[in-house]
């Protein structure tokens, strides 16, 4: 079975399709170990953010892993309070300092803060042009936010990282992103664990001799979605990566698509207030 473990972004950057997310992973040993275990298991994408307050430990985990820097794809994000032109440049410097890296592979605007994301994007373009972020993108942006951004942007975002799982499949937004050559990346890809007991997913797990989580991760991959499940347990981190040795049938992919209820677990990008 041929399955590309990486995806080429619109600017030619190569991003692994499966990575480790570290949202809600405690700074210190927990974050250091999660990153180190993931890299040992074969992950090459690590996704953090200024708001997660664990960038220092992520950087430490990368160093302790012994995996060469140029083999690892590191993403971090600009927090809402730091949006604006000057403050974005400053926040980015701060993130690099905490990570102890010379560059990141992807820098994202974390949320579409009204009246600020265009100025933030101007700074992101400058960072991108300097080579200190190899790719730039957004997170939690709806189509209308991106359309608005594109009225002034010189560089089209390469990625939109959004809440996406079998009960929130985001198909209209995914179609919009595909039309604009913007890669889709899923946060909370396992529905924060709330859908692991879903009878359809459990049944498919039995059919393929995999866990429900592995079925969901594989569904993301086959749907051309970059996916960053979070775990702090070494066994689970290994399990989540063990998804390249089977393939869901077209029928089973459709069955998972049909679990969509448009149920959002996180804030709505149009009404968030932080």
- The set of catalytic residues is 52
Q: How far is CA 147 from CA 70, 129, 157, 170, in A?
A: 33, 22, 11, 17
**CA–CA distance, 89 with 26 (Å, rounded to integer):** 26
DSSP H or E run through 221: helix 212-222
Strands (E), 9-59: 14-16, 20-21, 45-47
DSSP state of 225: -
Residue 255 CB-half CA count within 13 A: 15
Q: Strand pairing of 73-78 and 136-139?
A: unpaired
- Cα separation, 203 vs 98, whole angstroms: 44
**Buried/exposed 100-121: b ≥16 CB within 10 Å, e otherwise:** ebeebbbbbbbbbbeebbbbbb
The answer to whether the beta carbons of residues 243 and 18 sit under 8 Å apart is yes
First to last CA, the chain: 45
């Amino acid at each position: 079975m041929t399955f590309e473990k990486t995806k080429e972004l619109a600017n030619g950057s190569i991003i692994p399709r499966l990575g480790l997310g570290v949202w809600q992973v405690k700074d210190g040993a927990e974050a250091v170990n999660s990153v180190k275990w993931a890299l040992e298991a074969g992950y090459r994408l690590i996704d953090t953010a200024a708001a997660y307050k664990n960038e220092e430990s992520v950087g430490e985990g990368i160093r302790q892993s012994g995996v060469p820097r140029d083999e690892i794809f590191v993403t971090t994000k600009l927090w809402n309070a730091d949006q604006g032109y000057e403050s974005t440049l400053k926040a980015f410097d701060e993130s690099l300092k905490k990570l102890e890296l010379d560059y990141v592979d992807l820098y994202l605007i974390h949320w579409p803060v009204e009246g600020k994301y265009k100025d933030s994007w101007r700074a992101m373009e400058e960072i991108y042009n300097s080579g200190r972020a190899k790719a730039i993108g957004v997170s939690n942006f709806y189509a209308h936010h991106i359309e608005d951004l594109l009225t002034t942007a010189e560089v089209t975002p390469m990625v939109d990282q959004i809440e996406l799982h079998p009960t929130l499949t985001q198909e209209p937004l995914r179609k919009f992103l595909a039309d604009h050559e913007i890669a889709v990346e899923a946060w909370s890809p396992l529905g924060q664990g709330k859908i692991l007991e879903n009878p359809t997913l459990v049944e498919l797990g039995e059919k393929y001799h995999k866990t429900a989580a592995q079925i969901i991760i594989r569904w993301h991959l086959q749907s051309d979605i970059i996916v960053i499940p979070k775990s702090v347990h070494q066994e689970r981190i290994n399990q989540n990566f063990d998804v390249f040795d089977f393939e869901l049938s077209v029928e089973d992919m459709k069955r998972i698509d049909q679990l969509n209820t448009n149920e959002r677990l996180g804030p709505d990008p149009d009404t968030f207030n932080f």
